[in-house]
Chain A
Amino acid sequence: MSPTTQHATERYLAEFQTFERDHPASMWLAGVRRRAIERFASLGFPTVRDEEWKYTDVTPVANLAVTPIFRANLNGDAARISGNLPFGDIAGHRLTFVNGHYSPELSHLETLPAGVTVSSLAAAFENQNEVVQEHFGKILDAENESFAALNTAFAQDGAFVQIPSNLQLETPLHLLFLTHGEGAPVSHPRNLVLAGDNSSVTLIETYASTGEGVYFTNAITEVIAGKNARVEHIKNQMESPKAFHIATLQIAASRDSWVRSHTVNFGGRIVRNNATAVMGDEGGEVTLNGLVVGKDAQHIDNHTTMDHAMPHCLSHEHYAHVLDDQSNGVFNGKIFVRLDAQKTDAKQSNRTLLLSRDAQINAKPQLEIFADDVKCTHGATIGQLDEDALFYLRARGIPEIAARNILIRAFANEVLDGIPVEDLRQKLEAMLLTRLS
């Protein structure tokens, strides 16, 4: 444990005491939380000496004097906020969480097909939902990941989504996480998504704030895809430019299931996304795509793991980084092919555009292969805009800035083009253009 964050660890431990006293939970939940805080106590915050955190120093995150907020509190700003929700006009259901707590007044739920559960996790905890108890934290490694342990210890609310077998939920489901208020609020949103056999669902997660302040979001989303299920997942990370955002996406793909996730990172000061997909049965197919558009002093770190635990699974991965100013990008893409996971087909690519002298990228595409009859490739490129392409455009009378934007847009669109919700995709593209200008 690092001495520089030792104090921070102790502060969280002390805070847990208050939290546990003031928010009594069921025996089951209290046990889960207690176990998690014990793990966190012994793990502490990671340091740059940990291989997985080599390029991301979380000392500022750990040392931020956060204000724990245990209920959604809009201080009468609801009306102002509700008219101005990020991606608020996307068609479909919306669950809004303020500082990690469900806010019915900012949410919008249309009639759901019978058997579909979309609720706050707090309510599910309250009702001692057996399905939640069965799956909560089961696919996650809260034993060895300190932020996952921390989230679990303070797990209070988030979304609980259950799609029954053989049901196709047509309209997308939007989970919006807003941070509101001063004094460095901290939230630990926790989402559990269960897609039954032969079901399909489209899930959008957005992380944003109502102001420009400093705060810390430590989120976890667990997605369990049943047999032959189809899950589309989009995460918009639009946090304030001063915010710290650490998130884990954990995917369990069953037999013949199909899961695709897009992560778009425009916001945040220090950002770390962990995305892990375990293909636990044959025929699974997982796609993890990501876009990072870094400006100013942003530090955006994407760690992905494709775990081919069983034979005959496919994985695809494409991450694009556009880094300007003093921004700092980190990409770590692991592909594991377990013993006897034959006929695996895994592809990964990672491309970076460095637009400024002070921008930097640290990339580590990694293969660990324990089976022989597999096809695994990864490729990484780092460079500037193609001089020839720029020249071509300028020779046709397009001014330099416009030409650069065309090329950057094309580069970023390799990721954005895959986003299945059309009105969201258009909005993201527009945001990209504003961000570039």
Chain B
Amino acid sequence: MSTETQTIEALATQEYSAGFVTDIESETLPRGLSEEIVRTISAKKDEPQWLLEWRLKAYRHWLTMEEPHWLNAHYPHLNYQDIIYYSAPKPKEKLASLDEVDPKLLETYNKLGISIDEQKILANVAVDLVFDSVSVTTTFKAKLNEMGIIFCSFSEAVREHGDLVKQYLGSVVPYSDNYFATLNSAVFSDGSFVYIPKGVRCPMELSTYFRINTQDSGQFERTLIIADDDAYVSYLEGCTAPKFDTNQLHAAVVELVALERAQIKYSTVQNWYPGDKEGVGGIYNFVTKRGAARGESSKISWTQVETGSAITWKYPSVLMIGDNSIGEFYSVAVTNNAQKADTGTKMIHLGKNTRSTIVSKGISAGQGHNSYRGLVKVMKGAENARNFSQCDSLLIGNRCGAHTFPYIEVRNPSAKVEHEASTSKVGEDQIFYCNARGIGTEDAVSMIVNGFCKEVFRELPMEFAVEAQKLLGISLEGSVG
């Protein structure tokens, strides 16, 4: 046992590998939030009047709201006047190609293993990099343009495709939706915009990489993805942040719109800085993600691997409005040390023959607490709705917790709803079985945990699945004994 304990201790002290700070000149607005700041952000981005109005509407509404604290974790009241709402790497010139991006920035992404060049060739992934508040570069633009696909930063979309943005912005997550979404609506700085035209199947994975670099800055990005009739897109999102001993707020909003027979697959690997072992620092990941499967036979699928953040609090949801539409949610959430996660989904069945699947795997280690909170709602008109939910929890260590809060609301008798939940630990007998076959304890645990998460990992695109498995290994190493 003693050698084992030593390995464990060595691994437990493993550092967060994405925790470095890039020393880059950036343009930062003063701390604090006011109508003035909202106007300045809007002006900096050269936004049209309607968007400024929308931001101000959100800001004024936000002032009337109260910070919510109903999640199964504690966070102190945040000082919104102490947050930097806008921080951007100093622009040199307008960027036309990758060669013109600040080498320091590229170095940052290289360090994170996001080599833009490499991915360009090997992985066939178009990447949009968001650094603090603004989008740095988007690869593969020309090729996508040929097919009529729009994949650009949110600011660019506002400039060049204003009508589309105006039509869909806030149509899934209205500006008044919830405290953090409203804050985001007022101060969002950048993000990604995707439009897939009718009948187009996006030939490559679209990807955004988010990075918080500046201390005390919040990240408020906004993603809007529209898949027109018969379109298909798979979108990936990755996140990291440097280590600071203060908590940073990440309050993003993601809106997905799937029209007739369209499909959107949205995958997230979230590895924001989780704070240290005592729970000092780390990101508050309070995100609103929602998709509207508006068209007949449309489909929205969320896959998330949540290993980072001090507190993760989000419920990627699907409104199944069109008949025969489908919603899916696959999630692996890992909490180690003092991390807390309160995550899950909302599946709202409105159309006929709508189907939803929820597979949630929560892993708690150390003093981590993992909560699954989900809503399955079958409205009166949703004939023959079908839902299957499965929430499994794995506990590693006796100071962690696993919680499930599923809400099931059924208003139609033709609905079939099934919910299953189980909680278990990595069994001593399972480890013994592996040990007896010459597999070390760490490897055995990793095997068991990976097996536990397999149903979710196989939903991820290949490159992401590999990254997710590695991340899971790092997050849990040292928690077994």
Contacts and interface: CB of A to CB of B under 8 A. Distances in A.
Given A363-B407, A364-B407, A372-B397, 18 more contacts: A352-B410, A354-B415, A356-B413, A357-B380, A360-B411, A362-B410, A363-B410, A365-B404, A365-B421, A367-B402, A372-B400, A374-B395, A377-B423, A382-B410, A382-B415, A383-B416, A384-B414, A384-B416
A15 interface: no
B52 to A, nearest CB: 35
B398 A378 contact: no
A115 interface: no
A380 B418 contact: yes
B417 interface: yes
A48 to B, nearest CB: 13
Contact of A366 (B70, B405, B424): B405
B417 A382 contact: yes
Which 4 residue pairs are nearest across A and B when measured between Cβ atoms?
A354-B413, A372-B395, A380-B419, A382-B417
Nearest to B399: A339
B298 interface: no
Given A360-B410, A363-B408, A369-B423, A383 B402 contact: no
Contacts of B404: 365-367, 378
A355 to B, nearest CB: 7
Interface in A380-400: 380-384
Interface string B379-404: 01000000000000101111111111
Contacts of B401: 368-370
A367 B411 contact: no
Contacts of B419: 363, 365, 378-381
11 contacts: A340-B398, A354-B415, A355-B413, A363-B408, A364-B405, A367-B421, A372-B396, A372-B425, A380-B418, A382-B418, A383-B415
Interface string A337-376: 0011010000000001011110111111111111111111
Given A382-B415, A382-B417, A376 B409 contact: no
B423 to A, nearest CB: 4
The A interface is mostly helix, strand or loop, or mixed, namely strand
A371 B420 CA distance: 20
Contacts of A362: 407-410
Contacts of B413: 354-357, 359, 384
Interface residues of B, number: 34
Given A372-B396, A377-B421, A383-B415, A364 B408 contact: yes
A16 B101 CA distance: 76
Nearest to B397: A372
B79 interface: no
A-side interface size class: 35 or more
Contacts of A381: 416-419
Nearest to A374: B423
B410 A375 contact: no
Nearest to A384: B413
A51 B423 CA distance: 24
A382 B400 CA distance: 32
B398 A371 contact: yes
Nearest to A379: B420
Interface of A: 51, 339-340, 342, 352, 354-357, 359-384
Interface in B36-60: none
B344 interface: no
Contacts of A368: 401, 403
B297 to A, nearest CB: 23
B409 A375 contact: no
A131 to B, nearest CB: 38
Q: Which of A368, A369, A384 has the most CB of B within 10 A?
A: A369
A380 B418 CA distance: 6
Contacts of A354: 410, 412-413, 415
A374 B397 CA distance: 12
Nearest to B371: A368
A187 B168 CA distance: 57
B308 interface: no
Nearest to A354: B413
A379 B425 contact: no
Contacts of B424: 375
B358 to A, nearest CB: 12
B408 A372 contact: no
B89 interface: no
B422 interface: yes
Nearest to A344: B423
A363 B417 CA distance: 11
Contacts of A376: 421-423
Contacts of A367: 393, 402-404, 421, 423
A363 B70 CA distance: 19
Given A365-B406, A382-B410, A342 B398 contact: yes
Contacts of B405: 364, 366
A363 to B, nearest CB: 4
Nearest to A355: B413
A375 B395 CA distance: 11
Nearest to B428: A373
A382 B416 contact: yes
Contacts of B396: 372
A378 B405 CA distance: 11
Contacts of B410: 352, 354, 360-363, 382
Contacts of A339: 398-399
A369 B407 CA distance: 18
A383 B409 contact: no
A362 B404 CA distance: 16
Contacts of A384: 413-414, 416
Contacts of A355: 413
A372 B416 contact: no
